[in-house]
């Protein structure tokens, strides 16, 4: 087997292994993720939403509801009275988690040589995919007119949400494309080209 083919097979094996570990239905993982995501998200969102007079609360689904383990119950509360005004549920596995799992699997399979650059790219990608969880919530808040968006902004948000989160295939395509772009444009060349000698063309004048 050629070294190139062996390297490709190893990369594919690493990709599948990391993906299977991250995407496997581990008991309690969904609730833990939703709880952690909710904690961070509310800390970020509530100061922004303060001007609208509302607060957000993200909580995992009920303990006995095994089917909706990855669903976050989003409550819109009145900032003064803490009375619940609206409630929705969103699947955080499809809106962010799967994309992150794919991205990490791709990063593990084909890492960048420069470690600092690798860490920066992975962190930035994970932050981007974590923001995907906000798309359905933003859509809901905009539809309920809790946040004021113009018709164009709402259309744009809708297109982004429908394109990136709704189709199941995009959960796999977007992280792959992003990592491919990172590899293509940020990876350093394997050999230094500056000092490489270029052979002169063997042209003789007859």
Partner 1 sequence: MTARLARSVSGAAASKVARRERPAFGGEATTSCVECVTARGIRRPGRLRRSTATASDGMCLGAPMFKKLLEPRVRFAALFALLSATLFSLYFFPYAENGGSEVWLTLYLEKYTALVGAVLGIVEPHVVVSRTQILGRFSMSIVRSCDGMEANMLFCAALLAMPGVWWRKALALCAGLVALMAFNVLRLCCLYYVGVYFPAQFDFAHYDLWPLLIIAFAVLDFLVCVRWLQEGSAHARPPAEPAHVAA
Residue numbers of the site for partner 1 (CB under 8 A)? Answer: 23, 94, 98, 154-155, 158-159, 162-163, 166-173, 176, 181, 184-185, 198, 201-206
Tokens of 16: 């599948």
Shortest Å, Cβ 50 to partner 1: 29
Beta carbon nearer to partner 1, 42 or 166: 166
**For 201, which DSSP code?**
P
Shortest Å, Cβ 131 to partner 1: 18
**Radius of gyration (C-alpha) of the chain in whole angstroms:** 23
Beta carbon nearer to partner 1, 2 or 204: 204
Tokens of 21: 């570990």
* 96 vs 46: CA distance, rounded Å: 20
**For 77, which DSSP code?**
E
CA nearest neighbour of 52 among 180, 145, 151: 145
Shortest Å, Cβ 94 to partner 1: 6
* Cα dihedral sign, 5-8-14-20: negative
Beta carbon nearer to partner 1, 19 or 76: 19
Cα distances (angstroms) measured from residue 67 to each of 71, 72, 83: 9, 12, 28
Shortest Å, Cβ 37 to partner 1: 19
Beta carbon nearer to partner 1, 30 or 54: 30
Shortest Å, Cβ 60 to partner 1: 18
* 131 vs 92: CA distance, rounded Å: 11
Beta carbon nearer to partner 1, 5 or 115: 5
């Amino acid at each position: 087997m050629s070294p190139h083919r062996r390297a490709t097979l190893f990369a594919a094996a690493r990709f599948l292994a990391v993906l299977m570990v991250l995407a496997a239905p581990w008991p309690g993982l969904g609730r833990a993720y939703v709880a952690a995501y909710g904690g961070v998200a509310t800390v970020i969102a509530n100061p922004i939403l303060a001007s609208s007079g509302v607060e957000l609360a993200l909580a995992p689904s009920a303990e006995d509801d095994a089917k909706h383990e990855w669903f976050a119950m989003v409550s819109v509360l009145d900032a003064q009275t803490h009375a619940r005004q609206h409630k929705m549920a969103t699947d955080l596995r499809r809106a962010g988690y799967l994309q992150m799992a794919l991205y990490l699997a791709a990063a593990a399979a084909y890492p960048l040589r420069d470690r600092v650059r690798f860490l920066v790219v992975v962190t930035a990608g994970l932050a981007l995919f974590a923001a995907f969880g906000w798309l359905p919530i933003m859509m809901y808040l905009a539809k309920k007119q809790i946040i004021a968006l113009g018709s164009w902004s709402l259309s744009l948000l809708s297109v982004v949400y429908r394109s990136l989160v709704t189709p199941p295939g995009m959960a796999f395509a977007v992280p792959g494309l992003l990592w491919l772009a990172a590899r293509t444009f940020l990876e350093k060349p394997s050999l230094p080209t500056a000092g490489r000698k270029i052979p002169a063309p063997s042209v003789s004048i007859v």
